Amino acid sequence: MFAPGPPERVAGFRGDRELKRDYVAAIEYLDVHRAFPEAGRQHEALSGVTLRVERGEFLAIAGKSGSGKTTLLNLACGVDVPTAGEVLVDGRNLAEMSDRQRSLLRRTHFGIVFQFFNLMSTLSVEENVSLPAQLAGCTVRESRERARRLLSDLGLSGRERDPIDRLSGGEQQRVAIARALINNPPVILADEPTGNLDSESGTVVLQCLARLSREQGRTVLMVTHSSDALEFADRVIHLRDGRLIAGGG
């Protein structure tokens, strides 16, 4: 399935590292369509998207509201399925996996960061971060230790026991990044991660995401309508009305 051959440079990659195309992409979309019924007709949120997200890159997909960005992320982590085409994660076709395998993949392989943070306001900072580890079977003690380490990496030492609403938006988004990392996923999906932040705290959040790729080798796929967010990515591709309009492939 994967043609052997020498790794080649990834077109459009403008990071300071030389990113080589691995045989197997972190995520690969092959002529993906996703249609939703709308006013008695089928409306295509995505129309024939073909895209490789390389392992370890920080790829930004830019597009206006309604261009299909969230749909693209939902298809990558298997919460949604394409109406046509295929999505491969580490070379594995999501359509050939059972619901159970897909749900396990979603929990272990992907960390997800949302525009509105989606934190639980009744839990403390540390509890929010450690919860997904406990749900994955980790002991309370181990998951809290991991949470404290991640919070410290993200500049939030000393805030572990704070209630969520004591934190600024930028701090809350860093808590959400720590939560996304707690099960050590190789891929981070970020849906408008700076959409609810002022530009200064947005910059801090984008620097954190860039570090996950550059220093930790994770794949970061971010979708955004904010042009400010794009300068932090290694590569930018535009999405308009469900179609990629630059880069791709």
Cα separation, 58 vs 223, whole angstroms:
11
Report in angstroms how near the CB of residue 245 gets to ligand ADP at its nearest: 14
Residues 6+ apart with CB under 8 A from 104: none
- The partner in contact with residue 36, picked from ligand ADP, Mg ion, none with C-beta cut-offs of 5 to 8 angstroms by kind, is ligand ADP
Cα separation, 126 vs 177, whole angstroms:
12
By CB under 6 A, is residue 201 in contact with ligand ADP?
no
- The partner in contact with residue 76, picked from ligand ADP, Mg ion, none with C-beta cut-offs of 5 to 8 angstroms by kind, is none
Helix (H) or strand (E) holding 119: none
CA 100 from chain centre, in angstroms, equals 21
- The partner in contact with residue 68, picked from ligand ADP, Mg ion, none with C-beta cut-offs of 5 to 8 angstroms by kind, is ligand ADP
Based on CB atoms, which residue is closest to ligand ADP, 66 or 155?
Answer: 66
In this structure, what are the phi and psi dihedrals at residue 179, rounded to the nearest 5 degrees? -60, -40
Burial readout 108-120 (b: 16 or more C-beta within 10 A, e: otherwise): ebbbbbbbebebe
Cα separation, 168 vs 185, whole angstroms:
26
- For ligand ADP, which stretch binds (CB under 6 A), given 69-77, 104-112, 135-143, 213-221? 69-77
Report in angstroms how near the CB of residue 67 gets to ligand ADP at its nearest: 4
| Four-point Cα dihedral 233, 245, 19, 153, nearest 10 | 20
Write the binding mask 29 to 68 for ligand ADP: x where contact by CB under 6 A, - elsewhere: -------x--------x-----------------x-xxxx
By CB under 6 A, is residue 224 in contact with ligand ADP?
no
Based on CB atoms, which residue is closest to ligand ADP, 63 or 78?
Answer: 63
Task: Evaluate whether 243 touches 47 at the Cβ level (below 8 Å).
Answer: yes
Interacting residue ranges for Mg ion, rule: CB under 5 A: 69-70
By CB under 6 A, is residue 70 in contact with ligand ADP?
yes
Report in angstroms how near the CB of residue 211 gets to ligand ADP at its nearest: 25
Residues interacting with ligand ADP, by CB under 6 A?
36, 45, 63, 65-71
